[in-house]
Amino acid sequence: MTATRTTQMTEMTWTAVCAVDAIPLEGGVAALVDGQAVAVFRTHDGSVHALGNIDPFSQTSVLSRGIVGSRGDAPVVSSPMYKQAFDLRTGRCLDDDSAGVPAYDVAVVDGRVLVGAPREAT
């Protein structure tokens, strides 16, 4: 879920990564957030999601380069390496229950994308 803008946002917890328009619709970009590679995606309806960029199956930093689409009701990205799908909302791998990537809080403020902290796994 996209985090709502709150007044206690500080530079510490949120990193501005790029203009929202820099992310193509149904595409992704990678950003460095606190030294971690984070993949930031935009879906068809314009909503923004962020996941860890490292594909757990190949250990490569590539998820942002995957194809964004849907599986059932879930918005997903499929890894460019071996094609497993990850739910953009939770980071859960839909092809392997035991795998997943962290999902990050993300917000769009004044046309800029801000990435927050990784969320607790649900």
Give the other-Cβ count within 10 Å of 80's Cβ. 15
Min separation Cβ 18 and other proteins, Å: 4
Please provide the DSSP assignment of the chain as one string. Answer: -PPPP-TT--TTT-EEEEEGGGSPTTEEEEEEETTEEEEEEE-TTS-EEEEESB-TTT--B-GGGSEEEEETTEEEEE-TTT--EEETTT-BBSS-TT-B--EEEEEEETTEEEEEEEPPP-
Min separation Cβ 73 and other proteins, Å: 8
**Which residue's CB is nearer to other proteins, number 9 or number 20?**
20
**Which residue's CB is nearer to other proteins, number 76 or number 93?**
76
Contact set with other proteins (CB under 8 A):
15-18, 22, 24-27, 29-32, 35-37, 40, 43-44, 52, 54, 58-62, 65-72, 75-76, 78, 80-81, 83, 85, 101-102, 118
**Which residue's CB is nearer to other proteins, number 7 or number 71?**
71
**Which residue's CB is nearer to other proteins, number 9 or number 27?**
27
Min separation Cβ 17 and other proteins, Å: 5
